[in-house]
Structure formats: C-alpha cells, structure tokens
C-alpha cells in the first residue's frame, strides 16, 4: 500500500540552499516560493530562525 501523504523530507529537485523550504512546502501543499518569502521576512524579526533552518537541514532526510 502506498502512502498518499507527502513525506516531510528535503526536496532535492527544487532546492535553493538545502531544500528545507521546498520540503516544507511539498509536505503542506504550499508553493515553495511562498515558504521562502515567509522565511526571509521572518528573519527580519528577532528569533532563532537561522538556527531552526540549520537544525531542519540536519534533521530532515533528503528525498
């Protein structure tokens, strides 16, 4: 039986840096561009966004 829900993995085909944003977009059915824009805008705000990106880069398996 095949799993019809997209997996939570980095997208190696549609990546800019590591494929984290495109993997998140694929998992939730959003556009990769939208997730990238939200990430860039969130980097303006104080917080650990860059550390979260690096952690996801290390923890998310490659597709």
Where b means 16+ CB within 10 Å and e means fewer, 19-51 reads bbbbbbbbbeeeebeebbeebeeeeeeeeeeee
Q: What is the pLDDT of residue 8?
A: 82
Q: What is the pLDDT of residue 2?
A: 53
Boundaries of every domain in the chain = 1-63
Q: What is the pLDDT of residue 5?
A: 56
pLDDT digits (tens, 9 = 90+) for 22-60: 999 999 999 999 999 999 999 999 999 999 999 999 999
Over residues 1-10, the mean pLDDT reads 67
Q: What is the pLDDT of residue 35?
A: 95
Task: Give the CA-trace dihedral at 53, 11, 61, 21, to 10 degrees.
Answer: 20
Residue 13 has pLDDT above 70, yes or no: yes
């Amino acid at each position: 039986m095949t799993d019809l829900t997209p997996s939570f993995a980095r997208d190696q085909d549609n990546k800019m840096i590591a494929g984290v944003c495109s993997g998140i977009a694929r998992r939730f059915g959003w556009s990769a561009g939208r997730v990238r824009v939200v990430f860039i805008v969130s980097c303006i705000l104080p917080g650990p966004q860059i550390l979260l990106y690096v952690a996801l880069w290390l923890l998310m398996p490659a597709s």
